[in-house]
Structure 1
Amino acid sequence: MKPLYSGLFLIFSIIYLALLPFDSMAISWLIKILPIITLAVAVVGSADFSGKTLLLLALAFSACGDVLLQLDYFVPGVGAFLLAQLHYGVFFVRNWSSVTTRWPISVLLLIYMLVMAFLLTPHLGDLVVPVFAYLVVIGFMGFLATQSNMPLLWAVLGAFVFILSDSFIAIDRFLRPLPFSDYLIMVTYYGAQWMIIHGALKKFKSA
Structure 2
Amino acid sequence: MVSLSYVVDFLWLLKIIPIALLVFAVLKTEPSPSRNILLLALVFSGCGDLLLALDEFIFGVAAFLLAQLSYAVLFSRYWQGILNRWPLSLVLILFMLGMTWLLIPNLGELQLPVIAYLFTIAAMGLLAVQSSLPIRWAVLGAIFFIISDSFIAINKFIYAIPFESYWIMSTYYVAQFMLVTGFLYAVKQQKEV
In 2, Cα distance between the equivalents of 1:32 and 1:138?
22
| Aligned-pair CA distance for 1:47 | 2.3
* 2:28 maps to 1:78: no
In 2, Cα distance between the equivalents of 1:158 and 1:84?
14
In 1, Cα distance between the equivalents of 2:80 and 2:110?
35
Runs of 4+ in 1 over 2 A off after TM superposition: 22-25, 47-50
TM alignment of 1:4-83, pairs within 5 A: 25-83=8-66
* 2:148 maps to 1:165: yes
> Alignment partner for residue 89 of structure 2, among 106, 125, 137?
106
* 2:105 maps to 1:122: yes
| Aligned-pair CA distance for 1:205 | 1.4
Structure 2: runs of 5+ lacking an equivalent: none
TM-score (norm. length: structure 2): 0.93
Write the deviation string for residues 14-36 of structure 1: whole angstroms up to 9, x where unpaired: xxxxxxxx995222211111100
Q: Cα 1:23–1:86, aligned 2, differ >3 Å: closer, same or farther? A: farther
Q: Cα 1:106–1:60, aligned 2, differ >3 Å: closer, same or farther? A: same
Q: How many residues align?
A: 185
In 2, Cα distance between the equivalents of 1:50 and 1:157?
23
Amino acid at match of 1:164: I
Write the deviation string for residues 117-147 of structure 1: whole angstroms up to 9, x where unpaired: 0001110000001100000000000000011
Write the deviation string for residues 48-100 of structure 1: whole angstroms up to 9, x where unpaired: 34411000000000000000000000000000000000000000001111111
Amino acid at match of 1:149: S
In 2, Cα distance between the equivalents of 1:47 and 1:75?
35
* 2:130 maps to 1:147: yes
* 2:171 maps to 1:184: no
Is the contact made by 1:141 and 1:159 (CA closer than 8 Å) also made in structure 2? yes
Structure 1: runs of 5+ lacking an equivalent: 1-21
Is the contact made by 1:120 and 1:174 (CA closer than 8 Å) also made in structure 2? yes
- What is the SS of the residue equivalent to 1:95? coil
Q: Cα 1:24–1:171, aligned 2, differ >3 Å: closer, same or farther? A: farther
Paired residue for 2:75?
92
Pairwise CA RMSD of aligned residues?
A: 1.5
Is the contact made by 1:150 and 1:199 (CA closer than 8 Å) also made in structure 2? yes
Amino acid at match of 1:116: M
- What is the SS of the residue equivalent to 1:179? coil
In 2, Cα distance between the equivalents of 1:184 and 1:111?
22
Q: Cα 1:80–1:23, aligned 2, differ >3 Å: closer, same or farther? A: farther
Amino acid at match of 2:171: T
